[in-house]
């Protein structure tokens, strides 16, 4: 495994050894850890089935769970998916950025069936991360990239977290420091007549609804049905048990705080992480996964979590926390 430090905003990174190594690895069907603005991605050529199979193996991910194809521009996205008026509006408003659009897949798209799990739809995203866009452009193919964590674990927002989870499977790791958004992209489903929020994420529901001029319906489907795959209930699972909406801290617990004051018993917490002392959901999203990892590493058997409001990125944060707290059925853990 080769690991390179790259500045997020470096304009000349395409001249570097890091860029050459990443492009060569992707072209050879291997896996590269790539920072996006949301979380690190486990990247491979979306048109290469054996490379995409490598992603599922490395993550231990059920193969019905399709991957997001990352492309450099809306123009490129339109080669792989069918964009109606709604899709164009959202793409123009939020790309490049933390929004993924699920649209009908074009019959002539070279993205492999394994990447889309055989669905008639494709998830496309033009990320704000210039590193990912440059790679997609240089490789001449969309880059399939799920979050770079073992399936069912917390998403990685730093290169160290990626290496800890997946080091053995990677050819190249591009380390650009902590990812700025901290939660995954918002996924909007546009394949049916009504737009649906398939996953809350880095762009708030209300901002998307304002551009669409209509409300987003909830995702359909269940844990096992591929209509909303990847949204398995037990996901983002730390080793510790998670106790939500905690109004106090009990002996032996660690505390995931949001805002101040801290609840009763906080002085005896095994460890404390405050997502945002000023109760700001954007700041909290940035810190969420790293804070959970640190509290998990404290050895506490339970992490007590203070309530987080639903506005702004709060919906995405609450979604991830609910999954972290869900009972874990090992036979069906993704």
Least distance (Å) between residue 151 CB and ligand TXA:
9
285 binds ligand TXA (CB under 6 A): no
**CB 171 within 8 Å of CB 69:** no
Tokens of 279: 């109760």
Say which entry of ligand TXA, Mg ion, none residue 157 contacts (CB below 5 to 8 A, set by partner kind). none
Residues between 174 and 203 with contacts to ligand TXA, criterion CB under 6 A: 184-185, 187, 198-199
Here's the x/- map for ligand TXA, 20-49, by CB under 6 A: it reads as ----------------x-xx-x--------
Sign of CA dihedral 316, 77, 53, 165: negative
> Which of 216, 243, 221, 217 lies closest to 231 in space, CA to CA?
221
Pick 38 or 147: Cβ nearer Mg ion = 147
Rounded Cα distance between 196 and 199, Å, is 9
**Sequence-ordered list of residues with C-beta below 8 angstroms from that of 304, at least 6 positions apart, any chain:** 243, 246, 248, 249, 250, 253, 254, 255, 256, 263, 269
Rounded Cα distance between 298 and 303, Å, is 10
157 binds Mg ion (CB under 5 A): no
SS (H, E, C) 139-160: HCCCEECCECCCCCCCCCCCHH
How many residues touch Mg ion under the rule CB under 5 A: the total is 1
Pick 124 or 262: Cβ nearer Mg ion = 124
Instruction: Find the part of the chain contacting ligand TXA (CB under 6 A) among 159-167, 226-234, 255-263, 323-331.
Output: 226-234
Instruction: Find the part of the chain contacting ligand TXA (CB under 6 A) among 72-80, 106-114, 118-126, 247-255.
Output: 118-126
Pick 183 or 295: Cβ nearer Mg ion = 183
Kindly tell me which residue out of 21, 68, 242, 306 binds ligand TXA, with binding defined by CB under 6 A. 68
Kindly tell me which residue out of 47, 48, 109, 147 binds ligand TXA, with binding defined by CB under 6 A. 147
Closest residue to ligand TXA, based on beta-carbon distance:
230
Question: What secondary structure does DSSP assign to 31-99, as a single string?
Answer: -EEEE-SSSEEEEEETT-HHHHHHHHHHHT--TTS--EEE-SSHHHHTTTB---HHHHHHHHHH-SSSE
Binding residues for ligand TXA, rule: CB under 6 A, are 36, 38-39, 41, 65-68, 98, 100, 102, 116, 119, 121-123, 125, 145-147, 184-185, 187, 198-199, 229-231
Binding residues for Mg ion, rule: CB under 5 A, are 147
């Amino acid at each position: 495994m080769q690991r390179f430090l790259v500045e997020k905003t470096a304009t000349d990174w395409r001249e570097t050894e890091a860029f050459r190594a990443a492009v060569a690895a992707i072209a050879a069907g291997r896996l590269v850890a790539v920072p996006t603005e949301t979380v690190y991605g486990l990247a491979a050529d979306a048109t290469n089935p054996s490379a995409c199979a490598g992603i599922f193996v490395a993550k231990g991910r059920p193969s019905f769970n399709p991957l997001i194809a990352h492309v450099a521009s809306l123009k490129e996205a339109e080669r792989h998916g069918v964009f109606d008026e709604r899709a164009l509006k959202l793409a123009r408003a939020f790309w490049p950025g933390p929004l993924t659009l699920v649209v009908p897949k074009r019959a002539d798209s070279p993205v492999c069936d394994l990447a889309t799990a055989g669905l008639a739809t494709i998830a496309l995203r033009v990320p704000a991360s210039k590193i990912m866009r440059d790679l997609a452009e240089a490789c001449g193919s969309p880059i399939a990239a799920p979050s770079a964590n073992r399936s069912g674990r917390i998403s990685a927002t730093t290169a160290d977290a990626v290496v800890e989870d997946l080091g053995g499977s990677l050819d190249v790791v591009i380390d650009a420091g902590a990812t700025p958004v901290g939660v995954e992209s918002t996924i909007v489903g546009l394949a049916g007549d009504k737009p649906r929020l398939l996953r809350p994420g880095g762009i708030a529901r209300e901002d998307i609804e304002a551009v669409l001029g209509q409300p987003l319906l909830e995702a359909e489907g269940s844990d096992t049905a591929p209509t909303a795959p990847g949204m398995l209930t037990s996901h983002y699972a730390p080793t510790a048990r998670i106790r939500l909406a905690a109004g106090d801290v009990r002996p032996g617990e660690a505390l995931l705080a949001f805002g101040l004051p801290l609840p009763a018993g906080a002085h005896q917490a095994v460890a404390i992480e405050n997502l945002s002392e000023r109760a700001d959901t954007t700041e909290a999203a940035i810190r969420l996964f790293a804070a959970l990892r640190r509290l998990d590493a404290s050895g506490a058997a339970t992490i007590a979590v203070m309530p987080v409001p639903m506005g702004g990125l709060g919906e995405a944060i609450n979604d991830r926390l609910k999954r972290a707290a869900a009972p874990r059925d090992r036979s069906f853990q993704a």
